[in-house]
């Protein structure tokens, strides 16, 4: 079934309609400390939210934990939530992931609406039904597939973002372009991320969401083609987990560095055009810089990749490309090939 995704033109009326279509004896709104200040303050007086109870959690991915999840469950319970209540997740990917999981498990599941406020959440986390929390030092280790009743994408929220968070979300758009077609990829690598035109970005965002929506509709539980959305993520999640012990990086930055590694392997293993790889890598290096890993980090990164949920047995499994839009899922790579790719990430 196709998820109800609204590219917002009239946010207040669209939110009121989305709420009216859900069962709701009580309404709860989940925010983090940042979105409570920057986003909730802008909509709290809307008539449809007048009686909503606000649940506030800590900011950043370090709070995407079981302890935070328990705190949300407790807040719902203490606020008198029933299985007929509604949870609105207002925030970035951490809020929509954790809030979606909280809603999916409280009373065996209550309705929830996602209102993503970051570019990353709009193009990735809030769409597609993946929910969850980090566990044991690993990203999204515990969670369920469960789609929000409605996702409202309002690009006005992008005005609240700093440059780093725009770039973080843009990395997922770049991934969508690589798995889609040459035209979309070309538009993305020719966009000026140094001085982003938000009106232009809004149109690109819509096309990017359509790529993910089409793939998720075809394969909701990641048995086949949905694995194409993991391009850049086997290495990217390892980079992100590694960075938690050093200097944390935004998810999209980790994915961008992961794209460098997996495009290198695509050239070596599946014939991806070298020039297209070079153009993409040049764009990433220009706007995302360099990941500060050394060869001393390789063992830990490989260990993290072995824990990736996409693996089978002892193999490290990645998604590669034979060309732009030519997707090759379930590609096994050896530890030696991983080290080669890490060399390229460091030195490319």
Tell me, what's the pLDDT at 1? Answer: 52
Same domain, 255 and 140: no
Tell me, what's the pLDDT at 309? Answer: 66
Same domain, 212 and 153: no
Same domain, 79 and 197: no
Q: Are 149 and 4 in contact (CB under 8 A)?
A: yes
Same domain, 266 and 279: yes
Which CATH number belongs to the domain containing residue 182 in this structure? 1.20.1090.10
User: Cα–Cα distance between 112 and 102 in angstroms, integer?
Assistant: 10
Q: Which two tokens stand for residue 155?
A: 């690009």
pTM for the full predicted model: 0.88
pLDDT digit string, tens, across residues 24-34: 999 999 999 99
**Which of 242, 232, 227, 254 shows the shortest CA–CA distance to 304?**
242
Same domain, 110 and 178: no
Same domain, 217 and 119: no
Interior angle at CA 144, CA 140 and CA 145, nearest 5 = 110
Tell me, what's the pLDDT at 2? Answer: 64
pLDDT in tens, the chain (348 residues): 567 889 888 999 999 999 999 989 999 999 999 999 999 999 999 999 999 999 999 998 889 999 999 999 999 999 999 999 999 999 999 999 999 999 999 999 999 999 999 999 999 877 888 899 999 888 889 999 999 999 999 988 998 899 999 999 999 999 999 999 999 999 999 999 999 998 899 889 989 999 998 998 898 888 899 999 999 999 999 999 999 888 989 999 999 999 999 999 999 999 999 999 999 999 999 999 999 999 999 999 999 999 876 666 678 999 999 999 999 999 999 999 999 999 999 986
Q: Which two tokens stand for residue 12?
A: 């207040």
Which of 121, 144, 160 is the endpoint of a domain? 160
Residue 228, domain extent: 163-347
pLDDT digit string, tens, across residues 82-119: 999 999 999 999 999 999 999 999 999 999 999 999 99
Same domain, 198 and 90: no
Q: Are 311 and 138 in contact (CB under 8 A)?
A: no
Q: Which two tokens stand for residue 348?
A: 């490319």
Same domain, 111 and 189: no
Same domain, 82 and 39: yes
Tell me, what's the pLDDT at 314? Answer: 74
Q: For the chain, what is the domain count?
A: 2
Same domain, 119 and 223: no
Which CATH number belongs to the domain containing residue 121 in this structure? 3.40.50.1970
User: Cα–Cα distance between 1 and 77 in angstroms, integer?
Assistant: 31
């Amino acid at each position: 079934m196709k998820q109800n995704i609204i590219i917002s033109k009239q946010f207040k009326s669209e939110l009121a309609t989305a709420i009216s279509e859900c069962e709701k004896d009580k309404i709860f709104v989940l925010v983090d400390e940042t979105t409570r200040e920057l986003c909730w303050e802008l909509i709290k007086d809307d008539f449809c939210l007048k009686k909503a109870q606000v649940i506030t959690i800590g900011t950043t991915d370090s709070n995407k934990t079981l302890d935070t999840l328990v705190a949300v469950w407790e807040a719902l319970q203490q606020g008198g939530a029933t299985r007929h209540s509604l949870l609105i997740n207002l925030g970035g990917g951490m809020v929509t992931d954790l809030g979606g999981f909280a809603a999916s498990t409280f009373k065996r599941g209550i309705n929830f609406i996602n209102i993503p406020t970051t570019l990353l959440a709009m193009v990735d986390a809030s769409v597609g039904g993946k929910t969850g929390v980090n566990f044991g030092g690993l990203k999204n280790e515990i969670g369920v597939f469960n789609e929000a009743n409605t996702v409202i994408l309002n690009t006005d929220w992008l005005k609240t973002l700093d440059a780093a968070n725009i770039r973080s979300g843009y990395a997922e758009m770049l991934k969508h372009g690589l798995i889609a077609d040459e035209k979309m990829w070309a538009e993305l690598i020719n966009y000026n991320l140094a001085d982003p035109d938000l009106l232009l970005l809004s149109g690109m965002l819509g096309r990017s969401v359509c790529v993910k929506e089409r793939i998720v509709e075809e394969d909701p539980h990641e048995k086949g083609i949905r694995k194409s959305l993991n391009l850049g993520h086997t290495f990217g999640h390892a980079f992100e987990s590694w960075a938690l012990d050093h200097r944390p990086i935004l998810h999209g930055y980790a994915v961008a560095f992961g794209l460098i590694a997996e495009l290198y392997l695509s050239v070596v293993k599946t014939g991806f055009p070298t020039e297209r790889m070079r153009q993409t890598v040049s764009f990433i290096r220009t706007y995302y810089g360099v990941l500060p890993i050394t060869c001393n980090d390789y063992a830990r990164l490989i260990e993290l990749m072995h824990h990736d949920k996409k693996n089978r047995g002892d193999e490290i499994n990645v998604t590669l490309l034979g060309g732009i839009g030519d997707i090759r899922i379930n590609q096994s790579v050896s530890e030696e090939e991983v080290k080669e790719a890490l060399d390229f990430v460091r030195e490319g």
